[in-house]
Amino acid sequence: MNNTLILMLLVLLQFARSSQLLSSESADFVLHNGNVYTVDANRSWADAVAIKDNKILYVGFDKQAVKYINSNTKVIDLKGKMVLPGFQDSHIHPLSASLNSYSCSLFGLPSVEAYLIKIKQCVADNPDVKWLHGAGWSHRQFNGNYPDKKILDKIESDIPLTLFSYDGHSLWANSKALEVAGVDDKIKDVTSGKIIRYNNSSEPTGLFLEDPAVNLVMHAKPKFTKRQLSDALFHVQKYLNSLGITSVQDALIRIGGDDGIYNIIDTYYHADKNDQLSLRINGALYWNPTKGMEQVEKMVNYRKQYSHDKFRVTSVKVWQDGVMHTHTSHLLEPYKDKPEQTGLVMIAPDKLNKLVIELDKAGFQMHFHADGDGAVRQCLNAIELALKQNGQTGNRHHIAHLELVHPDDIPRFRQLDVIANVQPIWSTSKDYISDLIKVKIGEKRKRWLQMNKSFLEQGVTVAYGSDWSVTTPNPMELIEAAVTRVRPSLPLKEKQASKPLLPDEVVSLADAIASYTIQGAFVNHREQTTGSIEAGKLADLVVLDNNLFDVDAKQISETKVLLTFMDGKIVHGNLPLD
């Protein structure tokens, strides 16, 4: 007799005893006959989950779940499928990921030639736009050369054309965009970015590195409309829900007067007020390195004004350096291929210390972008000073990216209660990692590149973020990357034949799942209500077609999300389950 038939008989027996259960005991949904990995403190398993309204009513075994069923309860036979807490992405750019490729997406294209073909198509497909914008190109495709405005001018010279790199740290613009923005050979260099100029000339080439330089051009672009923003949010939520994601931290939200082409914060706030969010969103307000301490008061006011229910303003984003492949990550020792350079420092250490002390005192969580070991140390130093002055505030500061961390600084994360915000898929790009080791940092420093397990072994809390649109937001791919250190998108035969990159940093599946669920909830101060499947917590759940503990690690990325519950409602998938 199968489990479903047993449950049906138990239901009939229950109704024989009482014609109707008290409404306080009955559930809206009962999921049974499953493999429920709760991610609670004991990492326990269960068979069944009962949901009432927006909360988990019961977690346990099928026989006990029957008492929560009445005539109105939707009973879902999981048929052995896996249930996990909803995934929580601790570093992501959901709206800008959609908007940056609104008109022209170059993501995933294999060559400069492919870029140019696609850009020509974008121009042809958008004959009425006044400014064509897109994203997705990679420096690596240019083989050591810089993108040039003259290349774009041959395609489009009548309207501005701007293209962000896939990681958002560089902008490639045509001559018309520079003209409209007032950028010419008289434009002054900026302290926290780079304007690439032609050799022996002051004329900009059309390439701008890092935000302060990028904004010299992008400030002139017309803002996205309210309709475009709300449409982008609608589609982004559907997409992320389809991946099992129920909570995120938006890693960069600009504040009034600095929002450029985006007005993300109003979009989030109004969607929340109108009960249109199917994601819990914590927002990290962007600290503009070209401005001063007057931003603290403005951020405090934004927190009061915009925090509501599912959307909360909790963090401040500090962009402390750049990215290693453009030599803008700040290193403790010079780059191997540019021995005169250690990269960019976006905010001078004395200013960084001051702002971190004040923001920590004001109750903000610091969300740092720190890619190189020099920037990581500067961030840790600032947090240490803040704790000495303010005491332990419990703000749960976190540092994202951490491509290179000096071994002396690893224990400082635990000592200072700093969370390591890791992007595990970054460690799986063979060409990228090889370039970093052979060209940028050398063999001596490679052991401390793209760490994950080293943090866990020293008691550091690790949470995962995708940094989408830089890399995929699919949790199945990121979890596979964490436990294999092999590129999830490769064909299976190639994956099986591949050796893991930096294999000492492979983590267990249980740890990877925790970093994408309960630890993400911890980052966002939501671990008391989300992040694990426990009675009384909010009903944010995901149903997978396979038990991740039963599949080959290099096939985790093939796992499909069948259902996503957020706040007790099905926001992705259909019933009945196949």
Range with the poorest average pLDDT among 75-79, 291-295, 430-434: 430-434
CA–CA separation, 145 vs 391, rounded Å?
49
Q: What sections of 141-225 are H helices per DSSP?
A: 149-153, 175-181, 211-218
Within 8 A by CB and 6+ apart from 227, the residues are: none
**Count of CB atoms within 10 A of residue 553's CB?**
18
pLDDT score for 440 = 93
In this model, does residue 21 exceed pLDDT 50? Answer: no
Helix (H, G, I), strand (E, B) or coil at 533: coil
Closest Cα partner for 130 from 222, 230, 262?
A: 222
87 and 520 Cβ atoms separated by less than 8 Å: yes
With bands split at pLDDT 50, 70 and 90, how would you rate the model's confidence at 22?
very low
CA–CA separation, 100 vs 346, rounded Å?
23
Range with the poorest average pLDDT among 17-26, 47-56, 196-205, 536-545: 17-26
In this model, does residue 368 exceed pLDDT 90? Answer: yes
CA–CA separation, 369 vs 252, rounded Å?
10
In this model, does residue 3 exceed pLDDT 70? Answer: no
* Interval 146-191: pLDDT, tens: 999 999 999 999 999 999 999 989 999 999 999 999 999 999 999 8
Tell me the pLDDT of the chain averaged across its residues: 93
pLDDT score for 18 = 33
Domains with residue ranges and CATH for the chain: 3-85+537-572 (2.30.40.10), 103-218 (3.10.310.70), 226-523 (3.20.20.140)
In this model, does residue 20 exceed pLDDT 50? Answer: no
pLDDT score for 2 = 57
pLDDT score for 143 = 85
Helix (H, G, I), strand (E, B) or coil at 333: coil
pLDDT score for 5 = 54
CA–CA separation, 550 vs 432, rounded Å?
31
- Six token digits for residue 574: 């259909």
Q: Note if the bond before 469 is cis, omega within 30 degrees.
A: yes
**Report field, pTM of the whole predicted structure over 0.75:** yes
CA–CA separation, 165 vs 209, rounded Å?
10
With bands split at pLDDT 50, 70 and 90, how would you rate the model's confidence at 13?
very low
**Which own/partner pairs from 214-219 qualify as long-range (CB within 8 Å, at least 24 positions apart)?**
214/164, 214/170, 214/171, 215/260, 216/181, 216/183, 216/187, 216/190, 217/162, 217/171, 217/173, 217/177, 217/178, 217/181, 217/183, 218/162, 218/171, 218/181, 218/260, 218/261, 219/181, 219/260
pLDDT score for 431 = 81
Q: Compute the Cα dihedral for 61, 65, 66, 67 and give only its sign.
A: positive
DSSP state of 441: I
What beta strand segments (E) does 398-444 contain? Answer: 398-401, 419-422
In this model, does residue 6 exceed pLDDT 90? Answer: no
Q: What sections of 289-421 are H helices per DSSP?
A: 294-306, 349-361, 373-390, 410-415
Residue the block writes with tokens 């390439």: 207
- Six token digits for residue 168: 């958002």
- Six token digits for residue 105: 């997406």
Range with the poorest average pLDDT among 258-267, 353-362, 493-502, 521-530: 258-267
CA–CA separation, 310 vs 180, rounded Å?
39
Range with the poorest average pLDDT among 140-144, 169-173, 250-254, 480-484: 140-144
Q: How many helices (H) and strands (E) does the chain have?
A: 19, 24
In this model, does residue 9 exceed pLDDT 70? Answer: no
In this model, does residue 414 exceed pLDDT 70? Answer: yes
